[in-house]
Each structure stands twice: as structure tokens, then as C-alpha cells.
Amino acid sequence: MMTTNPTPQTAVFGASGYAGAELARLLLRHPKLQGRAPIFFGREDAGESVALAALHPQLADNNGTGSLRVEPFRWAALRERNVNVVFLATPHEQSRAWVPSLLSHGVRVIDLSGAWRLQQAENRAVYKFEDADAALAASIQQRAVYGMPELHRSALPHAQIVANPGCYATTVILGLAPLLRAGWADLERGIVCDAKSGVSGAGKAPSAKTHFMYAADNLSAYSVFGHRHTGELLEQLNVQPQQIIFAPHLLPIPRGILATLYVQLRAPKQAAEIAECFRSFYADSPMVRLHGESLPQIQHVAHTNFCDIGFALARDGQRLIVVSCLDNLLKGAAGQAVQNMNLLFGWQEHEGLL
């Protein structure tokens, strides 16, 4: 007689933000989680619970309200409620501090922050973490799986801690990985990554540079040679700092990232060869859409969990431009987290994402 695994109990910390709202929406509609709604936790000192629909009216039921609430967190609740997997949509420092205790409670963690993405100390230094137990943090760091299914699909089903990639990093890495794995890119001539993101990529907390009067009708570069996602590019693409330039920009739109990637090839290639390189690399990746020599646009990926990739090859066959774009709140955050959850539990990778 066949038996089926019980529906896992999910929990979300940090549902109040933009990515947290998308995560709540995806989990509430996920076909494998029906009948067992996520638990939404807020701050330990939050006092009383608050209705999820009060934070995100788009998640209200047909009466305009809803029964789900964001409740103050209690460590005992993890065992009392039989939580299997926790999503952290929390600040980097909070995730870094909480994950050791979460793992000790026997739950699996999918962390949307940058707390556990970087294996090399020199790259992680940008976050200035101060670990209470450095040895324990180092042990957890070694076990953390970088949550990009297209690169680490085989490792994810066994992971206890999944470090969900950054939004810029996902866009750039997916656009470059096939070429670098094939050894086609001339790294001595360098790669330039010109990436532009909508304002929601900066998070929900307002700042002078995300204020409407600054961002509207404007385009600005920021954090050049110092962006936190640069280390992810170096580690996941296995390149040196002098071999890649990453320049992020703020777009006056709510959501979406478009990265234009300038690559010199080591030897001339035909467009058909470039297309086949990407096609074979992503043959088993349902969340990557390849456009060949048609260049993708943000409007076609907004509100989806797809990363769209296209390219243009110069007549000399060596100057190549790759355009990669995605929704920073979905494939760049919450959607990719759900994609990783699907792999943790042996479900189809695209479950609940199409």
C-alpha cells in the first residue's frame, strides 16, 4: 500500500515586506500546501497579533478580511505547531543570528537574506557580521547551499540551510554561467555587467534615494565596486575581481531587473552555437526562458518567476551581448525561495509557480 508524505508545515518570518508579501501569496496558493496554511511570525516583542490582510490587503478573502494573522514569535511554537521549514524574509543580521537556533530546533531554513550566501570571508566582510559563536557559524556556513536550482539542483534536496540568492546575482549569474562553464568567455578581457533594478529591490523601508521625488524620472548608478551581490558573482561564476565589473542602477519602476552583459569570446562562434550552449545548459530548468537572438524585456517577466535570456552576437563572432531579466521579488526572491522548497520536498520544481 502506498503512503504519501504529510503536508509540511511552513512558517514565514518577515511577511510585512515586499518579498514577504509575495512569499505569502505563493505559499497560500501552493497546490501542495492546501489545507495547511503557513504560520506567519512577527517580532518576539510585537505584543498582539495583527491580521495578515491588514498588512497586505491583496491577500484578503472575499469578505475583505481573512483569518490569517501575523503572531509574535515564540521558540516553543516551532515544536508545538510541527513546523518543518522556515522562510526568513528578515534583515541580514537577524537571519545570521537566528539560523543556528532554528537549525537546533530541527527545522529546515530557506533564508532570503544575504546572511549565508557567501563562503569566502573576504566577500562576506561587506556585511560586517559579528557571530556570537564563530566556530558554529563557520560550520553552518559550510553546510549552506546556495539556492540557485539551475546551478545546485542536486544539492538542494538534502540541504538544511538554503541561502536564497540575491536578485541582481540571480540575473547576472544565469546570464553568464553557460558561457563560463563552457570556457568560452575571454576573462582576461573582462566582463561588464550593466544591471538596472526597480525600486522595490531596495526593500520596503523608505530612504532618500527611494523617495518618489528622487527615483521618479531618474536613472542613477550606485554601489559601483561595492555592491553586496558582487561576492556572489565571484564565487558562483568562479571569477576574480579584476575579471568582472558590476554596475547596478536604480530604475524608476516598481519591480524588475534587466542586466546587459558584455562578453568577449575567446574564439569566434556562430549564433547557433551560442543558442545551443544556453539551450543545453538550461535543458532541465523550467524557470529559464531562452529567447535566442531576441532580447527580453522587463515587462514580459514582471509578476512571473521566469528569468528570460537573449543575446546579440557581433559579425566578428567574438563580441557578445547577453540580456538577462527577471522580477526581483519573484525569481529574484520569493519565487526562487518557493522553487527551492519544491526541491527540498521532492516536488516538481515549478510547482505553484506557473
Q: Mapping DSSP to helix (H, G, I), strand (E, B) and coil, where does residue 59 land?
A: helix
Q: Mapping DSSP to helix (H, G, I), strand (E, B) and coil, where does residue 289 land?
A: strand
The C-alpha cell at 340 is 527551492
Distance, in Å, from the CA atom of 68 to the CA atom of 46, rounded to the nearest integer, reads 16
Of these residues, 167, 193, 307, 325, which one is catalytic? 167
Q: Is 307 a catalytic residue?
A: no
Q: Do the strands 220-221 and 244-250 form a parallel or antiparallel pair, or are they unpaired?
A: antiparallel
Burial class of residue 317 (count of CB atoms within 10 Å of its CB; 0-12, 13-18, 19+)? middle
Contact between 86 and 108 (Cβ < 8 Å): yes
Strands (E), 136-290: 145-146, 161-163, 191-197, 220-221, 244-250, 257-264, 288-290
- Which of 176, 175, 165, 70 is closest to 116 using CA atoms? 165
Question: If you ran DSSP here, which 8-state letter would residue 339 be given?
Answer: H
Active site residues: 167
